[in-house]
Amino acid sequence: MDYLFTDEQKMIKELAHKIAEEKVRPAAAKYDISEEYPWDVIKVMADSDMFGLFIPEEYGGLGVNIMNLCLATEEFSRACGGIAVCYAASALGTIPIVLFGNDEQKKKYLPDLAKGKKVAAFGITEPEAGSDASAIKTTAKKEGNHYILNGLKHFITNGGDAETYVVIAMTNKDKGARGASAFIVEKGTPGFTFGKKEDKFGIRASSTRELIFQDCKIPAENLLSKEGMGFIVTMKTFDASRPGVAAQALGIAQGALELAVKYAKERKQFGKSISSFQGIQWMLADMATEIEAARALIYACARAIDSGCKDVSKESAMAKMYASDVAMKVTVDALQIFGGYGYMRDYPIEKYVRDAKITQIYEGTNQVQRNIIGLQLIRDMAK
């Protein structure tokens, strides 16, 4: 389908595709097994200006454009969902600084992130605070010109490998959700350490660790926005970043479909290619149609954000939820087309199933996305 891309978008897609095919795909199986952070591939992405796609030009980027970020993430994810999320998670850690940072904060952090010299991470989740983000226990206590952070974040993507972290902590517990604030914390700050690296089902090229704060003293100027704005920062960040997660799911689904079509053409049973069987053709047709529907929704949502629409929570949640559900279904069907071979790790398709699953879970489970959509529908009705 022709999505009427601009010349710049075509260029980004072409370049991201080249990186995906020449650098990401050949490294996918290796990092899936070793679980090492794919620094060599990240460096190629960085040298190609890919980390500049979500950073304003005045801070060394190519302008904030969620559509561009989606195009790059989709292409990388076609080749490897794990390596792609290292890239996308840096966007997640960067977006709050872009949206809420003051000029000094932007000047200090964004140029290195735009060049990919450093990667970023976002930390809100805690052992007792997943979907219920208001239950976070990490605290930030103001002392003179500093805040003292104490607590534990877990399941943090890029945790340990990122240099720049945006962390949500309670500055006033009595105020509940309105008592949370967002802080920029640099790796290497005394009192800031990392816990165990998680052994994951999928996206194994990416690192997931605990962030541990023990009397971690950070300068007061590292507060993003104002005290009490932590959840607004989080919600606005997720509104802008969810199309990226959706694009990740879309890329995984697209990559799985391509492998399935290729395999169906090559595989012979009963004396002919299995792609000549209507049963296989119908499966492929459904997969392709659902992928295209997800793509149209994601691109529409990304374009709405880029054209300045403010109220995108519902559409953003729809894109993330729908694309990740499609990715899960498509990857499972793709494996089915591979039959017994698909179940074997010698073939690339089982990894797509494992990589797809997380997209239904992180940056808000799909159940939470449905809450967001449902609530918005009811609110709209009440207007």
Partner 1 sequence: MNIIVCIKQVPETTEVRINPETNTLIREGVKSIINPFDMYAIEEGVRLKEKFGGKVTVLTMGPPQADAALREAISMGADEGILVGDRAFAGSDTWATSYTLAGAIKRIGAFDLIICGKQASDGDTAQVGPGISTHLDIPQVTYVKKVEEATEKFMRVERMMEEGFEIIETPLPALITVVKEINEPRIPSLKGMMRAKSAKIIAYSQKDLNLDPQSIGLCGSPTQVVKIFTPPQRIGGQMLQGEVPDIAAKLVDLIKGEVH
Q: Cα angle at 348 between 155 and 48, to 5 degrees? A: 65
Q: How many CB atoms lie within 10 A of CB 67?
A: 26
* Nearest-angstrom CA–CA distance, 356 and 30: 18
Contact 126, 151 (CB under 8 A): yes
CB atoms closer than 10 angstroms to residue 97: 25
Q: Per CB under 8 A, does 133 bind partner 1?
A: no
Work out which of 9, 13, 15, 227 binds partner 1, going by CB under 8 A. 15
Cβ neighbours around 357 below 10 Å, total: 19
Q: Contacting partner 1 (CB under 8 A), which of 18, 173, 226, 262? A: 18
Which positions from 21 through 50 interact with partner 1, judged by CB under 8 A? 22-23, 44, 47-50
Which among 18-26, 80-88, 125-133, 351-359 is the span making contact with partner 1, rule CB under 8 A? 18-26
Find the DSSP H helices in the chain. Answer: 7-19, 25-34, 39-47, 66-79, 81-100, 103-114, 230-266, 278-306, 313-342, 349-357, 366-382
112 binds partner 1 (CB under 8 A): no
The nearest distance, CB 369 to partner 1, in angstroms, is 31
- Least distance to partner 1, CB of residue 209, Å: 29
Instruction: State the minimum distance, in angstroms, from the CB of residue 48 to partner 1.
Output: 5
The residues pairing with 180 across neighbouring beta strands, listed in sequence order, are 170
End-to-end CA distance of the chain: 37
Q: For the CB of residue 26, give the shortest distance to partner 1 in the complex, in Å.
A: 13
Q: Which of 38, 52, 101, 160 binds partner 1 (CB under 8 A)?
A: 52
The CB-of-179 to partner 1 minimum distance in angstroms stands at: 41
- Asked if 8 touches partner 1 (CB under 8 A), the answer is yes
Nearer to partner 1, 218 or 302 (CB): 302
| Positions that interact with partner 1 (CB under 8 A) | 7-8, 11-12, 15, 18-19, 22-23, 44, 47-50, 52-53, 62
